Amino acid sequence: MRFISTIGVEQPFYWHKSLMVNESNSTHSSVCEVDHPQSTSPSQSTRPPVPKTARSKKRHPQYPLSIMGGSSAPDYAYYLFLMVNITLFLRPAELIPSLENLPIYEVLIVSSFLFSLDQIKRTLQVPMLKRQPITFCVIGLLAAVALSHASHMYFYGIHTSTFAFLKTLIYYLLLVSIIDSPQRLKGLLKTVAIAASIMILFCVVDYSGVFDFEFIKHVSDRDGVSDAGEDLRVFRMRGTGIFQDPNDLSVLIVTTGILCLYFFNDPTAGSLRFFWIVSLIVLGVGLLYTRSRGGLLTLGIASMAFVLPKYGKKAAITCALVGLAGLTVLAGRQGNIDLNSGTGHDRILLWREGLSALKSPDLFFGIGQGLYSDLAGLAAHNSFVHAFTELGIFGGTLFIGCFFFAGLGLYRLARFQNSCQGKPIFRNQELERYLPYAGAVLAAWCGGMMSLSRCYVVPTYMIVGVSAAYLNLAGASLAKPTPVIYWNKQHLVRLIGVSFALLIALFIFVRIFAH
């Protein structure tokens, strides 16, 4: 069966029986309307009274919460997964040294995985993967990692790299399998926002000299050369665990700030929401302490993505320019962005090394996952260049697909929302409210990856997974439940086109600025 999606894209429609009923019930309703209970006075009705049970059943059809359908993972699997995310930011072994040898993260994620096996098996079914192109791309990356070494007959690399990325894939599968309701999505976002804010607070306190945390070590970086020929140094704030790069930490700060703003604007939170202001202040101070130019650019990109759906292109560009101009005055080093010298130009030279390696038989499957540093001396400091170089056209396209499909889905929902001129497009108000924040989070992380190599780490697939989970919930919450995006030939062609366009743009950019 084929039908016209509510977001204007004709798609194959493989659906559960319950959704087929929902489609027939909403056939005569406007696509911009959702089912809400409505009262009708007796004088307005000329039909015989309908029994209460039948009337309730008609007015309140049982819609699934996610396009995944089926039963939800147990609550204890969900809570274990929340604890997994807490340990990503607040590492127990750093806070309590006596726990250093305990595999806390591994035990939590394996336990959550075992309790969610039924939901994960459903996620991996082919019909489900077609509804989730993002998941299809993430799973494909596992094959790309293996093939990047198999093409060179490097069997040790196949074993180590595949196993390492498999752990990241398990995290992603847990997220999209367990987060199957708006309540669970909001709980995950709140857990991440609180845990990340606490970790950043520790870093700010340590950097300011208020208290010395032994597990936090900041860094003194080279920042150019003085007129006398001496190296200039700048002291920069680092995070903990996997966020020890100041630039990486700055992207996390911007992303966390978007989530804090989302909870601060929650109308159901009452007076407690003002506590999020404290977090926003800490994050703002932390962003300045990182001295990260990439963090400043990430903030500008996130601001544009947040304003664009509601107020249009002119307002988005104005907001970004005003914000960047103000922060440039306050930020000092961060406002000095120069692509012709300094660290900015050094990174472009690293990009050139990687892109040059593609002009070889390694074009299709790459030089091998984890080998960029052997080629150029350092990581690429650009996730997209890094993925293309190490995984080739095959893996690089799949990596871009994770973000392309996420962005495409959010764009379609935002465009559909605008076409409805203020009318709700979702039955769930929280999904409606989160839409602009979802776009800003995704844009912030993509902007940050332009100056960071974060192709395989868990936080990247946390952002991708949250986007995928949100699109699953959003598709089921539309007036006519349907996948927002779908894996088909048309989307595959678009993905390949976007991938090659980005690769060509990177080649042109490097050709202009690398000297």
Find out whether 170 and 120 touch, Cβ atoms under 8 Å. Answer: no
Three-point CA angle 283, 289, 292, nearest 5° = 95
Closest by Cα among 304, 351, 305 to 505: 351
SS3 state at 467: helix
Q: CA-to-CA distance for 450 and 10, rounded, in angstroms?
A: 33
Find out whether 21 and 58 touch, Cβ atoms under 8 Å. Answer: no
Given this model, what pLDDT does residue 38 score? Answer: 40
Given this model, what pLDDT does residue 328 score? Answer: 55
Regions of the chain short of the pLDDT cut 50: 1-6, 8-31, 36-47, 50, 54-58, 333-334
Given this model, what pLDDT does residue 109 score? Answer: 96
Given this model, what pLDDT does residue 226 score? Answer: 60
Please identify which residue in the block is written with the tokens 């994620």.
109
Q: CA-to-CA distance for 512 and 515, rounded, in angstroms?
A: 8
**Dihedral over alpha carbons 281, 284, 288, 291 (to 10 degrees):** 140
Provide the CA 191 distance to its chain's centre, in angstroms: 15
Tokens of 27: 């056939």
Q: CA-to-CA distance for 106 and 209, rounded, in angstroms?
A: 34
pTM, 2 dp:
0.86
Given this model, what pLDDT does residue 32 score? Answer: 65
Tokens of 136: 């299809």
480-497 pLDDT, tens per residue?
A: 888 999 999 999 999 999
Given this model, what pLDDT does residue 451 score? Answer: 87
Given this model, what pLDDT does residue 364 score? Answer: 92
